[in-house]
Amino acid sequence: MKRILRILMIAICCMVSCNMVANAGNDKPISVNALPAKAQTLLSQHFNGQKVMLATIESGVVSRSYDVVLQNGTKLEFDKKGNLTEIDCKQSIVPDQLIPQAIRNYLKENYPAQAVKKIEMNKNEYEVELANGLDLT
């Protein structure tokens, strides 16, 4: 009896974990108006001339995030509160106002001729990719 109960519990755990993995990463298209207010404000302030081609919400098991693709190929990612977590400018450069002042100062001092193409904000660090392909953490 214990063996059957143990096998049943393992089977239930496997089914629940498979269901969680299958549901993680579900991207659903949304309208720009469905983005958090902070994200909408950032888009209108820094990318007012660019049309939003696609906005999606990614609902994971624990968290939720928003992805936005602009007409010029720029990709932005926001957390559930609308805070910018990543910006990847394919054909342009990251606006200076979106780069923290300390990083701007460092880049101006050490890489004055290089523009920022991508920046990713993590909890404890920033990852910056320059136009020459150099990655800085």
**Domain span holding position 71:** 26-136
Q: How much is the pLDDT for 68?
A: 86
CATH code, domain carrying 35? 3.40.1420.30
Instruction: Classify residue 37: in a domain, yes or no.
Output: yes
Considering its fold, how many domains does the chain have in total? 1
Instruction: Classify residue 20: in a domain, yes or no.
Output: no
Instruction: Classify residue 7: in a domain, yes or no.
Output: no
CB 30 within 8 A of CB 57: yes
Q: How much is the pLDDT for 8?
A: 63
CB 130 within 8 A of CB 116: yes
Cα dihedral sign, 116-41-72-75: positive
Q: How much is the pLDDT for 64?
A: 82
Instruction: Classify residue 80: in a domain, yes or no.
Output: yes
Going residue by residue through the chain, which has 137 residues, state the pLDDT in tens, using 9 for 90 and above: 667 767 766 767 556 555 554 445 577 877 777 788 888 888 888 887 788 888 888 887 777 888 888 888 889 888 888 888 888 888 888 888 888 888 888 888 888 888 888 888 888 888 888 888 878 88
Q: How much is the pLDDT for 113?
A: 80
Instruction: Classify residue 17: in a domain, yes or no.
Output: no
Instruction: Classify residue 6: in a domain, yes or no.
Output: no
Instruction: Classify residue 19: in a domain, yes or no.
Output: no
Phi, psi angle pair for 84, to nearest 5°: -70, 130
CB 97 within 8 A of CB 46: yes
